[in-house]
Structure 1
Amino acid sequence: MNTALRTAENRTFGPSGDDPIDLIAAALRTDGYIVLPAPLPPAVLGGLLRHFRSIDREHFRRAGIGREDEHQLNRFVRSDKIFWLDNANPAVSAYLAWMETLRLGLNRRLFLGLFDYECHYAYYDRGTFYKKHLDAFKGSTNRVVSSVLYLTPNWQPRDGGELALYSPGEEGLAPEAPPLMKVAPRFGQIVVFLSEEFPHEVLPVQRPRYSVTGWYRVNNSLGDIIDPAS
């Protein structure tokens, strides 16, 4: 991957006749990330927002860090709550179908070997955050491509909760590293990036923030055993 990254403006694409899969694949190949303002149909976005709001907050669980035996809760690192998604809701099913089309397209264009996609709603209440982290460390996980779809209506800069994306590798993990870019959590906007490359964090939230966070995975298991989802 070419790590000579461009500015946020050059990696953000507006609605156009271009195929979003082509745009995402090209950006992942050259830069490792992309922001798309509104690639999904409004009906799907509206359905996701209604579904999100319909779920009792008691059904959201506090998010942890790590996977399987290493999973732990740490409110000093992250303080959001999550709700894992499946095909039970029509809007979620439509979103997962869109992401499946993207998975197949990325595999055809980039030969990534993406095996499946897992995702959850993320609910950030006022004052919550997620400190700088990587979604995957090289060789230690099966997450390859990360995505965040924002569902917060009428977001304003004073609301906070931007995604700060940092330069790849150790440089970006340094405490003093400045953000490569900040992604505003505007309704319908999606950011896609390479999970092992880009440290990132969710800046403190000033009003409730809704999103769908997910990962494309590869299957690192042997034989007929399939890697478990998170």
Structure 2
Amino acid sequence: MVKLNRLPKASDGNTIDETLFGLIAEDIEKQGYSIRPSALPDAIASSLYSHQLSLSANKYSDAGIGRGGDYLKNEFVRTDEICWITGESEAGSLWIDWTSRLQNFLNQRLFLGLFSFESHFAHYSPGDYYKRHLDAFRGEANRTLSVVTYLNPGWGNTDGGELVLYCDEHDREGLKVVPLYGTIVVFLSEEFSHEVLTASRDRYSVAGWFRVNTSIDNKIDPPC
């Protein structure tokens, strides 16, 4: 069981990041996942939270499953809505810069060969959910590492919406993670199925994936 210790405060933001990145790397190496409560730097968390709250309804699209021509909306599987992060906003730029530094650190420490990163805001209205699934697409071993951070101040025990991380295909209980503000969860995409339990209030998060380069012949992946 991972120890859910908070990071010590420090005046140097780079020192805090390096400490956090080291803890995440150690967790991934030992058990394949890392759960770090209140670990996202507050400047990034507050910027992401404010930006997500400012998004108008038409910026979101109904979430689905699959990719490209295989993309399909399936309300039996998931009912949330998403907005992809392009880096055009200040919040998106801060997030992408931070995850880029995490990517470089993990590549140097764990030799994962992480090549690119994609992410989106996710909004779960009351009653929304995401059934148990794997993040890596079937037949395409390109999503290597999943990253989730939560943007929910004052989340209570009765608000639901927990992430449930399953250790293997036979695991029926899983490890529940409350979507508290600033919590970061990182895990191997192909190894851990997971789900989001029904939320009873609006639930905000950012979900992202580090990918490896699986380009073959004229097929470019990750796509531009």
**TM-score, normalising length: structure 2:** 0.91
Q: Percent identity?
A: 45
Q: Is the 8 A contact 2:66 2:137 kept in 1?
A: no
Match 1:200 to one of 174, 194, 205: 194
Contact map agreement 1:118 1:229 (CA 8 A) in 2: no
Shift of 1:157: 1.1
Which amino acid letter does the alignment assign opposite residue 195 of structure 1? S
Task: Give 3-state SS (helix, strand or coil) of 1:51's partner.
Answer: helix
Structure 2 segments unaligned to the other structure (5+ residues): 9-15
Q: 1:139 to 1:38 in 2, by over 3 A?
A: same
Corresponding residue of 2:173: 178
SS at match of 2:158: helix
What SS is found at the alignment partner of 1:123? Answer: strand
Match of 1:3 in 2: none
Q: Displacement of 1:55 after TM fit? A: 0.7
SS in 1 for 2:170: helix
User: Any unmatched runs of 5+ in structure 1?
Assistant: 1-6
Q: Are 2:124 and 2:204, in contact at CA under 8 Å, matched by a contact in 1? A: yes
Confirm or deny that 1:150 pairs with 2:142. Answer: no
**Mapped partners of 2:219, 2:25: distance in 1:** 29
Find the counterpart in structure 2 of residue 13 from structure 1.
5
Q: Which moved more, 1:118-127 or 1:46-55?
A: 46-55
> 1:46-61 maps to which residues of 2 (within 5 A)?
46-61=46-61
Provide the TM-score with structure 1 as the length reference.
Answer: 0.89
**Distance of 1:213 and 1:65 partners within structure 2:** 14
Q: CA deviation at 1:63?
A: 0.3
CA pair 212-221 structure 1, distance change in 2 beyond 3 A: same
Partner of 1:62: 62
What is the CA distance between 1:228 and its match in structure 2? 3.8
Q: CA deviation at 1:13?
A: 2.8
CA-CA distance at 1:35 after TM superposition: 0.8
Residues 96-175 of structure 1: pairs in structure 2 closer than 5 A = 96-136=96-136, 140-168=140-168, 170-172=169-171
Matched-pair contact (CA < 8 Å) for 1:138–1:196: no
Give the counterpart letter for 1:35 in structure 2.
Answer: I
Contact 2:116–2:222 under 8 Å retained in 1: no
| Cα-Cα RMSD | 1.8
Please state how far the C-alpha of 1:24 moved relative to its aligned partner. Answer: 0.7
Q: SS in structure 2 opposite 1:158?
A: coil
